[in-house]
Structure 1
Amino acid sequence: MSVNSTTPANCGASNGSAVATVTGGNGPYSYQWMPSGGNSAQANGLQAGTYTVYVTDGSGCMGSDTAVVQAGAANATVNITSTHVSCTGGSNGSATAVASGGQQPYTFFWPQLNASTQTVTGLPPGTYSVIVTTANGCTTNASVTITQPAPLALSSTQNDALCFGTATGSATVLPSGGTGPYSYQWSNSQTAAAVNNLAAGNYFCTVTDANNCTAVINVQINQPAQLQLSLSQVNHVTCFGGSNGTATVFATGGIAPYNFAWNTNPQQNSATGLNLSAGSYTVTVTDANNCTTTLVVVITQPQQLTAASATTLVHCYGGSNGTATANPSGGTGPYSYQWSSTPQQFTQTATGLPAGNYTVIVTDNYGCTVSTAVNVSQPPQLNAAMSNVVNVSCNGGNNGSATVMPSGGTAPYAYQWSTTPQQFTQTAANLPAGSYTVNISDMNGCATVSSVVITQPAPLVVVPSGTDTICPGQAVIISANASGGNGGYNYFWTQNLGNGQTHVVNPGSTTQYVVTATDNQGCVSAPQSVTVYVYSFTVTDVNITTPPPLCSGNSTTFTAQVTGFTGPLTYSWSHNLGSSPGPLTVSPTATTTYTLWATNGCGITVQKPVTVTVNPLPVINLSPQSATGCDEVTLVFADYNPNNSGCTYSWNFGDGGTSGGSNTSHSYTQGGIYTVTVVVTSQAGCTGTASSYVTVAVNASPVAGFNATPDPATTLEPTVYFVNTTTNAATYSWDFGDGSSSLLANPVHTYAQKGVYLVVLYTSNASGCYDTAMRVVEVEPEFSFYIPNAFTPNDDGKNDVFMGEGQEISAFEMLIFDRWGELIFRTENPLEGWDGTVRGGSEIAQQDAYVYKISLRDHRNKQHVYHGTVSLIK
């Protein structure tokens, strides 16, 4: 074998090659180049140097040969000179590539800058590379880093102005970074690093370094807030001429603490000036920086307190309705008052004052006082006397009069007499006999009372005599006697008898004679009469009040009246009722007739009967009863007396219960002995009463009850647990409503199918009492729904349709979407599934995952929504 071809390695790279040619031996051949070159007949990527190739044939025979790869064209050597950025953030750096060696001419390429010049300028800080290529294509890479100085940074120190509005501040700028030395230029034209005599404000300093890089800093000189004084509280002098004023100032701004100075004598040095009289005061405040300001404080005083007075007179002598009013001025309101009255008064106006001298002390809001004397006067005492009194001439007349004469008080006067109607003049006229008072009041309402008695003669009275009863044809003497009045009497009679004191009369029938008398003053007596009765022989009517029917044992009353049978009568009754016309009270035990006989003075008699009807009382018999029962005992009560037909009944069962009717019943809920009373009223209104006793024993019944859990049960959990809540029971019997039963107290029952079952619990106790409880137990179907996650629509009869399976579904919708959101199937029939076709077509959709949305309602109308994916598998 031999190596018969090589190519040199150029530009110092690994790009040489060698080719081995084999003759002889038995193929196939394997190759191995050393120290590198690979395992094929041609070795590539070789640097300049010597290489050996080992060849092995198909029989294991080995041969070798050596090849020399020569060095080709050389690379250039590259150095870079540079200038750095002068100021931070600048772009004035530059770089120059200097090449030597290799074959000229050279070409230069700066890849970051896409520049092909030997020198690049305007460079910001950074690392830059250059590729230098010789004339025969060899390349050399070199790089350079362009730097920048540290940033020119400025800081400062400053001292603020001491007082508001002064130029006492200073500032110093401290540079770092950049390239020293530094120069300074302030916005107030100063050129040193430190400046003085600065007022409050903003100052700008521009610093320039040796590379002419600049930075600007703003220095703010502050000043204290303006030192100010304000008046926070002032208390002026309270009383005229006093010195109890105070004032408090409040300092703001400047620098605390503060010192105060008042121009008082002696000087005061606190924020509050004390014991100040009226006037102007200057207070000076000095802060910690010795800054000062002043404030003028004016202390005032009220006008001098004075009090004038005004009074009203006492209206009536000895009265106490005088008033006095103090009218203060000056001082400081509000005012308080103290009067020397008894009791003392403390209002501006004192009231209810009797006549006299008073003193009022007025005190203003600050306790300043002034005293004023006040006199309250009164009028003379009001009196009255009677004059010109005229008495009544005839008894019962009204021609009396009286005049009252007032004195004292305050005219004019008003009068009010106690006459009927009242009179309001000084003289009261037309007065009947009697005592009168007159109230006299003056213009101030002061009053006095005077009285007078108006007399009259005794009443003129005439008294006739001669009243008698005569039989027809007889005569009788009548006469009259007068008294009272003024004497000198005259008499006048009616029935044409004329004047005269005495007359003889013989009337044919009962006659009334009237007589009047007059005295010497013309006073007339009241007429009086005398009647002469003449018996009659006929009776117009005899009337006896008919009593209503009464009940046995009761009483009734009746009265007799005879008319047309003149003259005095005498009466006689049967049954020993006496000699009075009535009213008479009788109490017959049976229906009875009573007879009256009436006789006049002439011996004529008349009779009249009256019947009193007596109704019997109802009779009822009650017998004692006894009974035993559960919860309540019902007894029957009845009246079996046939004579009580048509009667009404009122039963009282002794426990507060009542009833009516001849036959009734009553239920007792509590055991005991009860008195039963019945009142029977007949149609005639007569009542009979009967009572008896009943003995009742009431045993408590069980109170049946139970709970069922769960309620409702379901077809998946059909077992119901019954919890017995019955009280007072000994035995239990259950009917579960499905043909099953139990005698347990708390049974457990499993229902075979859904439905609504009426469960009944029968209970009893040792007393033989029982109770029943019932309730409905429902076994509901249980909602369920299952959805597969894949199906295979290949018509093999197995899993060909995608659909959910469940029970108790009342409303349904299923939607199928492809992965792009297109609706490809919809149904509202829960028994209809998706057969894999698109919108009812004939082709099965591609194998993929499809999105379903199933909405349905269960048997309780609860909404269920299911989202998911189903895989269609072919």
Structure 2
Amino acid sequence: MPSPEGSNLSADKKSFDYSGDTNNTYSVRIRIFDKSTNTTINNLSNVQLSFYIRDNFTVANAFWNSCEEKYVLSVNESITADGTKACSPYSIKVWKLEVDGSGNLVKGDVVYENTQESNSWALDLEVGEYVAEIKNSCGQTVNNGNYLFSITTAYKFDYEILFNGFKCFDDDSGSVSIKVIGARINEDGPFAGLIEWYIKDSSGTIIRGNSNGNVDNSSTYISQGGTWDGTGESPFDYGNLNFTIEVVGLDEGTYEFFFKDANGCSKTANITVAKSLPIKAEIISSNTQLDCNGDSDGSFCFFAEGGWTQPFDNNPINTPETGWGNPYTFSLLNTTTGVTYNSGSVNNSFDSSGNQIGFETCFNNLPAGLYTLTVTEFIVQNPYSDEVNYSCSRDFGQFEITQPEKLNIDDAIIQNIDCFGSANGSIQLLMSGGTTPYTFNWEKTVGGDVDSSFSGNTALIQNLSPGDYKVTCY
């Protein structure tokens, strides 16, 4: 009798090797002899042995399928040479694990039980710890009937448009930030390490994406694991992932965004890239003339409006229904000294009817110099990177705070007393700089003691008797 295909019988016919199909059943007939007499033992002259060759019975996949919002569990399936299922049907029994009084995980209630021809189950389970007993009809059991698995995040397959537009009104192009939720990353194929996605313009032309199997290097992918520019090996692990796709260089108009993950789940979104209102700012009050050289009591109060912070029709960030966004950030740079000042509190600004029209703030205690105002609006923060945000800053100015020239006593004309006992001395101050009219405060001391009977408040003091005279002028 010839040996079965894939097997090799030894010359002494005591052993054979097999290297054929992994899922098959073979019969071997043997004759057993009494070695001492070399005769066939009765009833053992034609013994038939059957060999069942099967793959190891293990879990092939276990993951949360976000588009079905179920936990998918599948086992490897043994297929025979003729294409039939060798060990179907399959049965599964799932218990939820609970913590007992000693803090140990123990089997609780049976939450799922099923026998079916398919080797895959979509389990509608909540977040928690579970143990499963999985069997096939060949008598095999996965992990001795104790397959443990956890459902940690039961998220669904979805997307969120974080931003779509021009960051600033006068930018050359717009951008889109799309948060993809619960997508399963492809393990292999043309989209390995990512998902399939594209953006079409209004004519239906694909202008961004990897739908042709090539990564779009003009886009950025950001997850909790880091930022990827699309070059080199993907940093994303195979499995479910939340991440953002940042697409730049878009014109005004409408676009279609499509994406599909490794599970075959797909979503389509219509996106409009538009411009905001221009950010505007103006002075509403100020103190721009210092009384004295070196003073620091100048001030500016500003009003600002516009940008994505101001609600308007078709504003995807702040609508007329939701109202104004967060206040602007105001900063003031003294370009003369290089010092930057932060504003005080930023307050809502209202019209005479009580409707908010913008924000206002003041800068106080400012020295002389030329100033530039910067108004910044914060639009949206990337949820996976503190370093990536959408904002717009605009500069306004210059605004000037002036100060007088430094106050100087250019000369003092002193007329001494001509006779002992007389009181005909005088002092005349010649002044420059500062702000007129000047104020003078004279003080006289004799022998170190203040003469309280003396006073003077002009640049010229006369009829002076002997003594020391000190003046404070401003």
TM over 0.5: no
Larger radius of gyration: 1
TM-score when normalising by structure 2: 0.37
TM-score when normalising by structure 1: 0.23
